[in-house]
Amino acid sequence: MAFKKIIDSIPEFYHPFLPDVFQMTIPPEPFSSCPRCPMIAESRDEISFDNGKPFAPDTKCCTFTPRLPNYMAGAILSDNDPAIREGKKRISDRIRTDKGIFPNGVYPTGEYNKLYQAISSTGFGRSIELLCPYFVHGRFNCSIWKFREATCALWFCKHIGGKKGAEFWQSVMDYLKFLQESLMNIAAFKCGLHPVDPYGEGSYPGFRESSERRDNGRNIADIWKKWKGHKADYYIRCYEIICNLDAGEIQNISNHGYELAKRIENLASGMVTIPEFLSVNRDLIRDDQTGHYVVEITSFFEILQKSIVWSFRLPKFILDPFNGITKTSDIVKLILESHSVRIEPEILIALYRQGILKDSGI
């Protein structure tokens, strides 16, 4: 597990728009390995919080519908990659039904939003009703992965850096959401439309689903202007506009995102710093009498307001030398010399950030 660049977790489409901070290297997230999802139970009958497998095998964590920005919908519609064929079909179908279709992009429907609010605290990770419309069954589950939205790109169920790691990834997500919104606004304005969040601002009745509108509000022609009846073409045009932004426009976005980028830098540096002297927190490990310790880690899921416990085994020779008085760098050298095992920095970060190794305060 080598460190990787932050940019490696971001869909390639966004790379030309990202500031230098995204070139920083950080530990990977090996405990969130989606193709071999460790969070799913074998069957729906076996779903349990106690064994660390709280999600259903036929939903995983995709019980969420992303807000796809206008230019991303256009990217999907324009792409001829066979890997995106199913996603393209699903977006085209959504546009035909005209549900959740706005100048801002392809959004969850109003009905879905209400359902999510009502049942996500118990149904996240398991409710078929909440399953994402772009989900496909099989090893790889996303039909629009190449053009995934910020939440789908950057939500990890477990963080190697514990709370610090969660805070760090949230800062990266905040930047990507800021970038998404900036690009979405530019595209809509350049097409002559007014990008207003359809659900975030209740004073715009015209942006609600036509099936939900109880007043005459602004009629559909006001919202879509010349794009009425040509919504797929509109999304494709948004994509073309964003692909052709000039360097000055891209720099302008980066200038506005300066504070968010700075926050990423600070959190990334803080996450990888570990104390010089560490000792083992024996309350969090158990001797399994086979020369190993069982290490238990608790993760809190905000949306479910529940914690899950997950565990793994480590040879005793890796943890025992952390006695609080020998330097961490010397212990790493000692383990390499005596057992030919290299303790990579990300392992130390994980053990420290998860509380297994604690600062001995020397």
CB nearer to ligand SF4: give 65 or 328: 65
CB nearer to ligand SF4: give 26 or 132: 132
CB nearer to ligand SF4: give 274 or 303: 303
Beta bridge partners of 68: 106
Whole-angstrom distance, CA of residue 146 vs CA of residue 83 = 8
Whole-angstrom distance, CA of residue 344 vs CA of residue 328 = 12
Considering only CA atoms, which of 143, 133, 135, 136 is closest in space to residue 84?
143
Considering the complex, what minimum distance in angstroms separates the CB of residue 51 from ligand SF4? 14
Considering the complex, what minimum distance in angstroms separates the CB of residue 155 from ligand SF4? 6
Considering the complex, what minimum distance in angstroms separates the CB of residue 108 from ligand SF4? 10
Which stretches of the chain bind ligand SF4, using CB under 6 A? 32-34, 37-39, 55, 60-62, 64, 66, 132, 134-135, 141-142, 144, 148, 152, 156-157
Considering the complex, what minimum distance in angstroms separates the CB of residue 61 from ligand SF4? 3
Considering the complex, what minimum distance in angstroms separates the CB of residue 70 from ligand SF4? 16
CB nearer to ligand SF4: give 33 or 121: 33
CB nearer to ligand SF4: give 76 or 193: 76
Considering the complex, what minimum distance in angstroms separates the CB of residue 29 from ligand SF4? 9
CB nearer to ligand SF4: give 52 or 257: 52
